[in-house]
Structure 1
């Protein structure tokens, strides 16, 4: 049922407009329906206002406004939150989408990024200097949500997670303070934002470490969905150079020209490759991929690194309906492979791709207690999602993904990656952070004792998680 959003007092709104340079969009405004939308169409919320911030001053004013008026506050970067935490009903949405400035320092190999940047923005700016850092696998994903959640991507085995490459961050905390955190300054907050999500403030800018990555050998290779192919993939990753990024995908054949038409819509698996090593080894990588099983389609070649980050873009544009679950595993146990083979054929749509992310290499060279992201002993993260074109179809297929997730649980590590958690996973927050949870609660209590930043996978200052808990 569609309900009307809360109407705020006009005098309060005028005072807020006087404090910000960006736009304050109310219900009834011509662009209201456009600016309230988020990536996952399952979340059709109607906020009382949307503030389209242009600088840190706007962020401070908006945080102060939401706190003083006791309104729910949703913070939106790229808007890709699976659980829909970039929007809310009858509250304030702080949209950072206009804060997308970037400054690359090629000598220091760093990038200064405003809080609303997407990975497409970052990759475009850094590639001009032959540099890159770990980002997501969909270019429209926001830097903020991905980095503060941990941050997996094609370069993770070589360069570590996105949060491992974070050198400093500017935040606006719940009391409206502007804080720069580094390993030396506000070190507790710097530790917490590297995996603890949006629980501690609004990150208005990041400084990321960059690595010398320009062109890569990459693209997808597809095979029949067979347990033997998956076992060979597992062996390939375990024995390969860390410069080989190799995501495993399971789903239905996409309608792409390099895949025979008879395979369109049929169950298969694939490896999306990103080899960032020397070009003279490209053919060796191609041969290793060919050895995994019968190749039914491939599109491999030397390409700019930013292009690898767009390979999923057309498959999953904004406006589809998603519901997600996620797991970590040590190795890829045979039972987990059996579950992929069993549930893969029932994938409900071409867009509903199961993705397996390798997390070894550089990810393992950070101790579990060094960042809030604690799963440094995990070798893989698995993301499951029915992704459909209608809400009804997505609701119908939630049972498939829940059963799939239950089948993986005996072979998984208990918690999951926060960026793969949906809104009904609040009871998993403690397990997601394991031994780091108590320390995160202490940081939360220091910087946000009133739990203003609660629209997330919430680390409550009282230590008891729950939707909207204050």
Structure 2
């Protein structure tokens, strides 16, 4: 019997009783389903499996292992490295996107294929929220498992700090529930260790009261960037934990509050979020409001709306990186602002400075996330259309990291980077943590079946 016939026989076995969707090249919707967020990544999976339950996830994994095919797990598909696709088997969780809110317990159960929009829209009617990604189309699973940095982190902690339980399908096909009391080592590992241990089919997250949220987006011409960045640095140093946001160089869109002369051009912007009423927010924001911005949007708005304000359009070529800073002195400010002019403009690219501190810095050694000690993150977030711009876009991102290396902590949030080598993975987790994670990996995935991630190699 030929290998092709064996493959068809195994696929037919998988189809029997499979209530989800199985797609092979040539099937309707295959082309739509195979694409991921980063247009630089172009893979043609032998099989895209969209299961409807945990048992079907396990069957799809078993099929891939039996056929000797590489396995990728897809939630939102936002991995800049393209880890959510492969030429082998993609276990696509997007049909498992249910969200169930328990307002009395202030908890929510989220399917492994849910996006931030699914989560935020479900919790909003109860005036409850948890730290989410900064883009509404981001998958909740990969976001949380990588740590989870978002607008509300200074107030509510990282997303993984709010993880109460997770259900994981192991490489051997078992469904395990990880909590602080059951599979507790695995539970610890899921706070930054990503998808190394198996597809996470559901997460239970803690919710926080959020009766009001205010956001301000302030815009200046780029030549004001140095003054704005210094003022923002001092503002954050004295800001309460309810304040989040970031300083962002970006291409200004055609919005009512953007002066016509700045539309389509590079601008320096500050986004300030505040978990409270607009009147209180304006008092807290006063130092930034006094700087004389060129345009401003200040409003009390639903959290789900804030989450989609800066959504990145799909279909662009992506390259991202990050560096965490122990300090942001004037010399660093000057280098950060100067490098913004190397961005590809106009494009959706962003040249970002995020503050940490607040709840992010509390219990900073509890989980394998050594980067949470740093007060600042710089995040070159590149998106462009033309492949001819690939070299320029990557050089801009790498140049920013190099410029600010004298103040770098050495650690890095892995959700913000692509393939940058094993040393960066270890830096993102901490060497001692990495060794512990490798032992956990060896227990749940000794063959490294789930290696399309910031990979933790199983300990011998």
- TM-score range for the pair, normalised by the shorter chain length: over 0.9
Distance 2:199 2:372 in 1: 26
Q: List aligned pairs for 1:170-249, cutoff 5 A.
A: 170-225=167-222, 226-249=225-248
Answer whether contact 2:352 2:381 (CA < 8 A) is retained: no
Distance 1:245 1:95 in 2: 33
TM-superposed deviation, 1:377: 1.1
Name 2:118's counterpart in structure 1.
Answer: 121
Name 1:382's counterpart in structure 2.
Answer: 378
1:459 pairs with 2:456: yes
1:136 pairs with 2:133: yes
Name 1:3's counterpart in structure 2.
Answer: none
Answer whether contact 1:73 1:92 (CA < 8 A) is retained: yes
Distance 2:248 2:177 in 1: 39
TM-superposed deviation, 1:358: 1.9
TM-superposed deviation, 1:7: 10
Distance 1:247 1:19 in 2: 49
1:412 pairs with 2:408: yes
TM-score norm. by structure 2 comes to 0.95
Distance 2:391 2:56 in 1: 37
Which 4+ residue blocks in structure 1 deviate beyond 6 angstroms? none
Name 1:326's counterpart in structure 2.
Answer: 322
Give a deviation string over 1:86-114, Cα, whole Å, max 9, x none.
1012x000101111111101111000111
1:288 pairs with 2:284: no
Name 1:366's counterpart in structure 2.
Answer: 363
1:423 pairs with 2:450: no
Answer whether contact 2:211 2:276 (CA < 8 A) is retained: no
Distance 2:97 2:198 in 1: 18
Name 1:355's counterpart in structure 2.
Answer: 352
Distance 1:336 1:173 in 2: 45
1:99 pairs with 2:96: yes
Name 1:37's counterpart in structure 2.
Answer: 35
Question: For 2:54, which of 48, 53, 56 is the aligned residue?
Answer: 56
Answer whether contact 2:437 2:456 (CA < 8 A) is retained: yes
TM-score norm. by structure 1 comes to 0.93
Answer whether contact 2:327 2:407 (CA < 8 A) is retained: no
Distance 1:425 1:120 in 2: 32
TM-superposed deviation, 1:279: 4.0
Give a deviation string over 1:390-444, Cα, whole Å, max 9, x none.
3332344222222122112222111311111112444411111113111111111
Give a deviation string over 1:121-149, Cα, whole Å, max 9, x none.
11100001000000011100000111000
Secondary structure class of the residue paired with 2:122:
helix
Distance 1:7 1:377 in 2: 55
Answer whether contact 1:193 1:372 (CA < 8 A) is retained: no
TM-superposed deviation, 1:269: 1.6
Give a deviation string over 1:135-173, Cα, whole Å, max 9, x none.
011100000111000001110000000000000000001
- Count, aligned residues: 453
Q: List aligned pairs for 1:333-344, cutoff 5 A.
A: 333-344=329-340
Distance 1:240 1:131 in 2: 23
CA RMSD of aligned residues (A): 1.7
Worse-matched range after superposition: 126-135 or 384-393: 384-393
Decide whether aligned partners of structure 1 residues 224 and 331 sit closer, same or farther in structure 2, where only a CA change above 3 A counts.
farther
Gaps of 5+ in 2: none
